[in-house]
Structure 1
């Protein structure tokens, strides 16, 4: 028994356009990866190969996949070891990869305080409109 494959056609009768295979957050690290045409897994494997070549101990591949996502989404900063490795594989400076920028508000307390400030501001504005 042979399986048939149904390929949807566009309105003009042509095959649809394939979506881009690579996506990344609009962060310096994400842009650097896309500029090379690399997937996250390719970066992870490059990190492992370089660290192994240098004799450095780093996290396992599964952990590095999670780290890479966090680093690209700017929710966490890579530590000094990973910054050196990333700068080397991308042939970029720490500034070019966004490692010298001030860290975003990362603590829960800072985020709560920022939200409280927004709520206070909105409350004042709402009071002015209601008056």
Structure 2
């Protein structure tokens, strides 16, 4: 077969679809393998089928993968096992040992509310003290 040569006139064009992921360990693991979300989903489906596990349909799984990669939700134990196997890594490497971001935000919100309540109480006590001294 003859060798084929391709010549491009002008600057080299940008790749149409760069692999993108959230800056989470899960998203970075996918991109490090050079996989699109579609390829990762397909790998999850094929692995689950080979293990005879029931999981979501590919279309739902793609949405879930995006949510997991962005920290909106966390995969359950079934999907954690599948993800670790597909990416050939540990739960810790994929960030499954870290607290969920929404739990952290909830915790911070509760602390802010408690501090606001404390400030209101202190302001009330200060007002009452100033009224007595006058």
TM value normalised by structure 2: 0.69
Superposed, 1:66-105 pairs within 5 Å as 66-105=63-102
Aligned partners of 2:94, 2:34: CA distance in 1, in Å?
16
Contact 1:75/1:106 (<8 A) preserved: no
Q: After the TM superposition, which segments of 4 or more aligned residues of structure 1 sit over 6 Å from their partners?
A: none
TM value normalised by structure 1: 0.70
Contact 1:28/1:98 (<8 A) preserved: yes
Q: Which one has the largest radius of gyration?
A: 2
Q: 1:95 and 1:107, CA in 2 relative to 1: closer, same or farther beyond 3 A? A: closer
- Give the root-mean-square deviation of aligned CA atoms: 2.7
Partner of 1:30: 27
Q: 1:117 and 1:66, CA in 2 relative to 1: closer, same or farther beyond 3 A? A: farther
Q: 1:26 and 1:107, CA in 2 relative to 1: closer, same or farther beyond 3 A? A: closer
Shift of 1:116: 5.4
Contact 2:72/2:102 (<8 A) preserved: no
Question: Residue by residue, what CA displacement relative to the aligned partner does 1:27-57 show, whole Å, maximum 9, x if unpaired?
Answer: 0001101110000011100010000000000
Q: 1:115 and 1:105, CA in 2 relative to 1: closer, same or farther beyond 3 A? A: farther
Extract unaligned runs of 5+ from structure 1.
1-8, 121-131
Aligned length: 108
Extract unaligned runs of 5+ from structure 2.
1-8, 117-134
1:64 pairs with 54, 58, 61, which one? 61
Contact 1:105/1:111 (<8 A) preserved: no
